[in-house]
Amino acid sequence: MGGLTERITKTTDLTVWKGEIPLEFVYTMGRAGEEFFRAIKEEGKFIGARCDGCRILYVPPRIYCERCLDRLEGNYVEVSSRGIVHTFTLCYESMDGERYESPHILAMVKLDGTDGGLVHYIGEVSPEEVWIGMPVEAVFRPKRQRKGSIGDIRYFRPIEG
Ligand SMILES: [Zn+2]
């Protein structure tokens, strides 16, 4: 076994140590993301960021317009918690590989009047009854259970078109 100064001349002679390196991650959602989740937690509503020049309403909000690079902070507006199923898929297993009793419906929901949307579950409906273009609305958790995360939305459920 060589040391850290081992000189590698042939790739077949590599020394391998097996072990684990402890790492901690901090994931930040950014200033616009914080504002987005604050509105969900405290007010049970969605906000977006509007670029008046480009006529784009970003959801989730951004601090800059990706097209013209204008600053959008301060241009936050409330947007609808209703939308349509833009596309969807079915999940049969959890992240740990455990089989669900019935498949979960995961959808991209485009929010009404905006150019954005959210990826989330669809609830209160069976997989056979979901269709692209189906009108849905967000179901928020009760305020005292909200933590300022995507889990504050239980799912989107179908509504009358
Ligand atoms: Zn713009």
Return the bridge partners of 118, or none.
109
CA of 30 to the centre of ligand 1 (A): 19
Residue 41: inside a domain? yes
pLDDT at residue number 56: 97
Q: What pLDDT sits at residue 18?
A: 81
Residue 6 located in a structural domain = no
Total count of domains within the chain: 1
Count helices and strands in the chain by DSSP H and E runs? 1, 8
The verdict on residue 89 lying in a domain is: yes
Q: Is residue 57 part of a domain?
A: yes
CA gap 81, 160 in Å, rounded: 14
Question: Residue 57 Cα, ligand 1 centroid: separation in angstroms?
Answer: 9
Pair of tokens at residue 52: 């008046």
User: In terms of residue numbers, what domain contains 70?
Assistant: 30-158
Q: Give pLDDT tens digits along the chain (161 positions).
A: 445 676 777 777 777 778 888 888 777 788 999 999 999 999 999 999 999 999 999 999 999 999 999 999 989 999 999 999 999 999 999 888 899 999 999 999 999 999 999 999 999 999 999 999 999 999 999 999 999 999 999 999 999 87
Report if residue 136 sits inside a domain: yes
Ligand 1 centre distance from Cα of residue 71 (Å)? 8
pLDDT at 107: 97
| Distance from the alpha carbon of residue 55 to the mean position of ligand 1, in angstroms | 7
Whether 55 is in a domain gets the answer yes
For residue 42, the CA-to-ligand 1 centroid distance in Å is 28
Domain-located, residue 99:
yes
CATH code at position 108: 2.40.50.140
CA–centroid distance, residue 98 to ligand 1 (Å): 44
CA of 82 to the centre of ligand 1 (A): 24
Give residue 2 CA to ligand 1 midpoint distance, Å: 57
Please tell me the predicted confidence (pLDDT) of residue 144: 96
Q: Give the integer Cα–Cα distance in Å for 52 and 147.
A: 32
CA dihedral over 17, 18, 21, 27, signed as positive or negative:
positive
Instruction: Confirm if 140 and 152 have CB atoms less than 8 A apart.
Output: yes
Q: How is residue 131 written in tokens? A: 């269709």
